[in-house]
Structures are given as structure tokens and as C-alpha cells.
Structure 1
Amino acid sequence: MKKVSIIDVAKEAGVSVSTVSLVLRQKGKISEATITKVQAAIQQLGYVHNVAAANLRASTSNLIGLILCDFSDSYAIKVMASIVMSLEKQGFMVFLGQPQDNRDGLERCLLSFHQQGVAGVIYLTSDTRHGALPAPLRQCALPLVVVSQTLIDEACNLVMRDNRQAAALATRYLLERGHRNIGYIGGEADCLLRLQRLQGFRASLQQHGIVLKEEASPACSEDTFAASQATRQLLEKNNTFTALLCHSPTALIGAISGIHQVGRTLGKDLFLTQQVALMGFEDMLHVNLTSPSLSYVSSASEETGRQAAELIISQVKTPNLPAQRILLSGELVVRESA
């Protein structure tokens, strides 16, 4: 069977080859009637547009390299899904790389991107302990957008959530509900995400004349047992705590166990002294499966992905744009636990 060419499509539609090319590339000012005729001819003849070949001829690419370091991080997975959806809507495709957590793996990933002819790179990192970009990314010649949960030291295109704002928002809500003894559970001591949230937590308390005591914000390893122990020890030492902010979904689940271990219950009724209000920072997939349902500040994962996609497209289409930093605010979702 003869392979259908763009010339065949042009003849079938009664237009020029250049017009068909513009329709395929979604360029130029083409009338809706002409677009409909060309699309009908493509459908009738079964023409398949070779995007890779067209990009090669035009020295352009519709491929975006996406580096995802941690497939176990729920926030990163949700951001990735939003990035892919947003890019596909704009006619771009994603080339996914998952390097090992070392320089050699990252260098191989970037080399593969170059060989595949990607137009730009999105680096989606879950590292909350280091504020610097890995050296291979600092040396990357391609347009680069970084999506991070914490602030990056280098001047780069960055999309991240505003951790201070998220903690301040949650704390203000609890203060407005009448809580004055509020603790913060979880996060390891060297976690930048924890440190940034504590800044927002502390600032909101200070605005109400409350000084955050060190023992009110115990750090612990990222597992439910450690969070449960930290919660239990905090409440046993001081039974006046009526609300807790939880660093992560793991910390939140552990905190529920710790609250029950000291004979108290989960809830937002300040006048029932055995109750402890609980808030998290993630829009967890299983948030509606608990009883009572959990209050939280959303991570804005969908908007983060959309902004990252828009930013890399603008960098690809208009090289040498100044670096941008986009901070996204979370949204307070009030349910039954606070």
C-alpha cells in the first residue's frame, strides 16, 4: 500500500502543501473552514503526521525532558501528572528520566535527553535537605525549570509551594478557633521543609503574643511509629496542648495513634478538653477515609504542575528570558479534625 504523503492530503483538500503544513503545526492564520477540510482529508486518507521528522527539518522539538527522582513521593507524582497533562494540551510530549541519586546517573539522564533532542528540561526534586542544585543541572545548556518543595539557592526558573504561608495559614486558623497551646509534630531536624514551616508557625504565634517553646515542636524520623512516640511524649509532658500541626501524612497518621495512646480523642471541640485538633499539609488521597476526616492545607500540586509546564514552554519559545521564581499558596481545607 502506498504511503500517504502531505501532497496527497493537499490534493484531497484542494489546498496548497504549505497550508496543510500550517494546519499540522497549528501555525498561521488559517480559516476554520480550511482547517476542517484539511482534517477531513487527513481522516479520509489515513495520513499520519511524523512529528519527529518535522521537528528535525525545522530544528525544533516538541519533547520536554522530565526528571523525577522519587516515585514514592505522592506530591511529586501528582505534580508530574499535572505537568504531563498541561504539556500535552500544548502539543508537547514528555520524555521521562529517573536517575539514581548520584551525579553519574543525572549526567547520563541529561545526555540521553540531548540525544533524544529535547527542547527543555523540568527537574522535579523531592530533596528537602539541600538548597543547591546538583552540578550537572547547573551546567545544563537546555532551558531548565526546577520544581522543588523547598527554596533553591541558585538563580533558576523555580516553581515551589510557599511553606511559610501554609504553616502560617494553618496556625492562624487554629488560633482563631481559640487554641493557644499548639504543637508541631514531625520532620527531621535537618529538613528544610520543616524549618520553613516552623518559621510560618512561629510568626503566627508571635503575632498573638505566644512564644514557641522548643519542646513544642519535636523532630522525628519519617515513619508513623516515630511520630506516634513523639506525639505521646509531648502530650504526656504537657496535657494542655489542644492542637497539633503535622509535618507530613506519615506524621499525621502517627499523631492519631499517639493521641489515642494517651487517652485523648481527635476533634475540634476546644471545650472538650480530651480532644486534640489535628491539621496536616497535604491533600492526601486517603483524606476522606478517616473518621473524623482530616483538615489540611493543600500542596497546590495541580497548579504547581501547570505553572511548571507554562514556564518551560515560555523558556523554550523565548530563550534568554530572565529566571522566574513562582511561589504557590496552599488552600485551607477544613474538615472534622480541626
Structure 2
Amino acid sequence: MLFRRVCCKNTFLRKLTVGRQYSTQARPYGICLDIDGVLIKGNHVIPETKQALRFLNGDNALGKKIPFILLTNGGGVSESAKAHQLSRLFEVPISSSQIVLSHSPVRSLVSRYRDAQILVVGGVGQLCRQVAIEYGFKNVVTPTDIFAWNPSIWPFSKLNDEHLREAKEVDFSREPIEAIMMFNDSRDWGRDLQIMLDVLRSKDGYIGTIADDTELASHQMPLYFTNPDFETTGKTLKYELFGKPETPTYRYAETCLENQAAKLFKDADQRSMKHIYAVGDNPAADIAGANAHNWTSILVRTGVFQGKDNDLKFPADYVAQHVFEAVQWMFDREERL
């Protein structure tokens, strides 16, 4: 369905007014909410957040629960940990199945790499290793493991007792790495980039070896990012990318919404999403991704975007002052007879 991309005025003209009629039939639509800049700003909850979430949980004119998920390019923790944090913050129950982090779609790779030795990069301490294991990967190593095995690989960082306690004992000259997955921002970029390059340049994943140009041209170590952090020069780097606005993330998010609908509606026909709305504050990520995947995009002014009118490069279907106005607009246009 096509929608005209419009802007709202400061006064919300589409309020749910007395006497307006709404459909009582469950209609298959859902909404995907960004977190930073939409629900929270810094360490503070945006004022309209709790009201918007209560509205989606049934505190509306129809007493109807609307399937929703929270989609963010943040990560570095498990979905259950994030759900627990946000439930306390918003005073609204959020389940782990309603959370899509930047690395959540990496779950789709488990069938390919379940028993393979994979290098997981980023995050604080052992958190990303733990997340990967929770997803189902059985043989997860980190840059700290490699650094503890051979500190000379990056002499500018110092090996300390914490590294030794955290490290998994592996002889990387005998046990190859089969894929690299960057889950979150590195806390030691110099060390981790050097290690990633050493693995990418290695022969068949054995650290300490160097593949020749012919071998590198025919085969590159599988490489996955969960955010578009890098630009490269020189030899073309092959990689797969997750996170907004990339297709795998939106496919995964749509599956999560359909799972939410299955919990709310007994009728199987009501479980497949015909309309999906996305609320975000970043035109280049949230709105570009929603538009590219034929979702109805709503841009709010509580985060990155502060424009008076719609964004010119990535225009949204609707521009709202805040998230509560956004969900009201969605509800109004879906439920009106």
C-alpha cells in the first residue's frame, strides 16, 4: 500500500475524538519502535514513552493490544538483559522476544557455524561471548583469547590478570578460526583490528600463517558486521552486514512481530503482518530502512531529527512530535471504519 509522505503540525490534528468510530475486528498490523531518540534520550525516558507503550498494550479506545517490538542498532548484551533493563525503566513488561538488537539476526548463522570456531569481537568483557553461546554457537573465541595466547600480536596493549582470567586456552596455530563476527564496538580498537587483519590474511584461519594473493582472491574468511562501522580502501573486502537499514534485520524483525501477533490472536489469518509501522528519529537508518522494506515510516523529533518539515533525503510517511503521537496516528488510520 502506498502512502503520501506528509508532515504534521505542532498541534496533533489526528486526535482520537469523541464519536469517531473504530473497527472492532482484529486487523493484522504491528509497529517497530527504535529505542534511542524515540523512547529514551541519554539516560532519561522521553516523557511520552510510557503512555505510548501502555497504549500499545491495550490502554486505547478499543482495549486492543497491538503487536510491537523494539529495534535498535545497539547491542553488546543479551536480548533478555535488555528486556529486563527496559521493563524496569519503562514500568511496562517487555519480553526478550520483543527485542531486536544489532546482532540478533546473527542467530540465523548458527546452523552454519554451530560447531565451528568463530571469533566474536566487541563489547565489554565476556558479554558478547556469552551472547553468542546463548544463541547456540558452541566454540566461541575472542580477541582476548588470542592476545593471551600471543601478546606480541599487539605489543601496545598490556596483558593483565583480567585478560588471563577471561582467556580461553587455545593453540590458534593448530585450531583454525572459520568466521569473524563483530557484535559490538571494540574496547581496544588497535588490538582487535590487528587481530582481525591477521585472521583475514591467514591461510585457512590458522593464525601465524599468511595466505598468498591467489589464495586470498579465491577465498576470504567469512566476515560479519552488525553495524556499518568501516570504510575500506585497497582490496575489496567481502562481508555481510546486519543492523538498520539492512535487509536481514528487517526480515528478522518482521518474524518477531509475527510471533508477537501469534501470541495475541488465535486466528491464524491475523498472525501475518499486512501493515508494519516503524518509528525512528534517524532518517538515514530508521526511515531509510523502513521505506526500503515497504513499511510505513514515522519520523519523530525527539532525537537526531529536529527539522521543521520532513527530511529531504529520506522522507517519512509521517512526521510526529513524539512516539505517543506516532502510535495514535497509526491506530487512527488502521482502526477507523
Do Structure 1 and Structure 2 share a fold, with TM-score over 0.5? no
Query: What band does the TM-score fall into relative to the shorter chain?
Result: 0.3 to 0.5
- Larger gyration radius, structure 1 or structure 2: 1
TM-score normalised over the length of structure 1:
0.40
